[in-house]
Amino acid sequence: MRRGEVAATGKGGDRRSNDVLAVGSYAAKTARDLGANQRTVERDLSRGKKITPDVLADVQGTTLDKGVVLDELAHTPAPEQRAKLIEIQERRAAVRPAPDPLNDPEAHEKQLAALRAWCILEAACALRRALNTRPHPARSA
């Protein structure tokens, strides 16, 4: 069978067709549909394939639903991912958050002192500008 005969029978493939799969991969089509970068979609697909569904469901929508945590879970063998998730949760719980600056009396006093110093400095600068705005004797003639 010749090349022309294959094309006439409709069997065989045309790599230059307008078929989406021929033009690009699933990641490229999804990235285009979502308006995201193709590499981002590929990375998310890879994580989704490597992390077990039950662990992924436990992480989804929590503070652990971040690329760093998902990558750590994805690089862990599937049978050990549950233990790894517990380890990450414990590690994050051990980190004590910084005190709330709005409720810290010492920080509040420091902020007031800085504001007072700035007001005094601003008043001194305004006075200096006012004193330097009188006409120069050589220019007034």
Q: Domain spans of the chain? A: 19-94, 101-131
In this predicted model, what pLDDT tens digit does every residue of 83-112 receive, in sequence order?
A: 999 999 999 888 877 666 667 778 878 888
In this predicted model, what pLDDT tens digit does every residue of 70-86 receive, in sequence order?
A: 999 999 999 999 999 99
pLDDT at 9: 56
Q: How far is residue 129 from each of residues 76, 123, 126, 136, measured CA to CA in Å?
A: 66, 10, 5, 14
Report the C-alpha gap between 26 and 2 in whole angstroms: 33
pLDDT at 109: 85
Please work out, in degrees rounded to the nearest 5, the angle formed at the alpha carbon of residue 31 by the alpha carbons of 30 and 35.
120
pLDDT at 106: 81
Say what the pTM is: 0.51
Rounded to the nearest angstrom, the gap between the alpha carbon of residue 106 and the centroid of all alpha carbons in its chain is 33
Tokens of 20: 């989406």
pLDDT at 138: 63
Burial class (CB in 10 A: 0-12, 13-18, 19+), 49: exposed
In this predicted model, what pLDDT tens digit does every residue of 109-124 receive, in sequence order?
A: 888 899 999 999 898 8
